[in-house]
Chain A
Amino acid sequence: MMVGADDAGRDEQARIAQQFIGAIPHARALGMQVEDIGAGKATISMPWAPHLVGDPRRNVIHGGVVSALMDTCCGAAVMAHPERPRSTATIDLRIDYMRAANPGQGITARAECYHITRSVAFLRAVAMDEDGEGPVASATGTFTVER
């Protein structure tokens, strides 16, 4: 993802990142929207949709969808790091599911690249629903750094 140009403003970065994410078929299929990006952090949201439901009795988004959002958001945060990696790939990702999302609500993930070495980026992320009463899920992960 070509984001993080030194003179580009935060809005400009978000626009470029959105364009990049819009070119990813699966991110588009899930309706992912870049809310904010820059300085090794990213916020991406996703609306509720009937085909993303995991438990029809409760109308709650499937955990796997939260994984997909967390993974994309972490990848975007790596790409937005000031060291500007050429590309990145997930090495591992751990997700803790704290509570079920509220029925019919979209999810917003916020990821932060809190440490980076020559070849590895370390990430933390949380996912909230619309009420925001504490996170729905949290994640930690490591990503490759291609220079």
Chain B
Amino acid sequence: MDLVIILSTLDATIRLSTPLLLACLAGLYSERAGVFDIGLEGKMLAAAFGAAAVAAVTNNVWLGLLAGVGVSLSTSALQGAAAITLKGNQLIAGVAINMLAAGLTTFLGIQWFAQGGRTPALTPDSRFGNMTLPFADELAGVPVLGQIYSELISGHNLLVYIAFLAVPITWFVLYRTRFGLRLRAVGENPKAVDTAGISVIALRYQAVLITGLLCGLAGAFFSIAQGSGFGNNMTAGKGFIALAALIFAKWKPVPAMFTCLLFGFLDALQIRLQNTDIFGVTVPVQAIQALPYILTVVLLAGFIGKAVGPKAGGVAYTKER
């Protein structure tokens, strides 16, 4: 393969990794705080719909983004109410959120826009266009490095850069701030946090809302950045791949980025390898599609390293007994 093909595959990798990365970091906050979240998919889907619907109606990409994040935040609040305040089963709350999002987005979409669940196609004003980074055009002529800069690093939309910026920010928040320390503590030993006079409930709500914010961005990426409009079930299980990536990355931000890039690469490869032979063998695309899930299961089983989640994850905190 020559450089152009490699670059275009990697370029697709970055694009395909972005929603995974946003959703993966989203899940990281929630799960690090001890709230399992299998509702990432639903929050993204709801956000994608909210963003596309508002962007289509107002013709304003920022209002669309705001709506997407708003929808995702309120979904998170609902999930928080169930899983934190009412001490309901966190997993079941996630299932309910996923189903609610799948049903409501299609139902309202058909009702509002009468296009079989699709939102109207967006104009260039109402979606995030690709940005050209400074000097990208000038450097495009420089062999290799210039090409990498102009082809691979430049020319993505805003949300892509936000996603990759969120990695160092998350690392900093998690490991270098008081909030991050408390967040990690509340996922490992909420009793200790409570004893120190810090509210477990408040911390978990904060975490869940950050999850909502990031899922909102991920959802908006689908409908008003990568695509131009919402389509039925457009997140297509990416929320679960993000969940897999989170486990694969052992709930750590930097490994999360590399895992999402790996899973994004597999996705890009799968698109590129449609019906091509490698060494005379046709690799079924389904095998590549299933690879992220298989890898995660293998890791979870402890055959390649060991993924151990936050200790207090999945259990609502009860102050007294």
User: Do these two chains really belong together in a complex?
Assistant: no
Residues of A bordering B, CB below 8 Å: none
Residues of B bordering A, CB below 8 Å: none
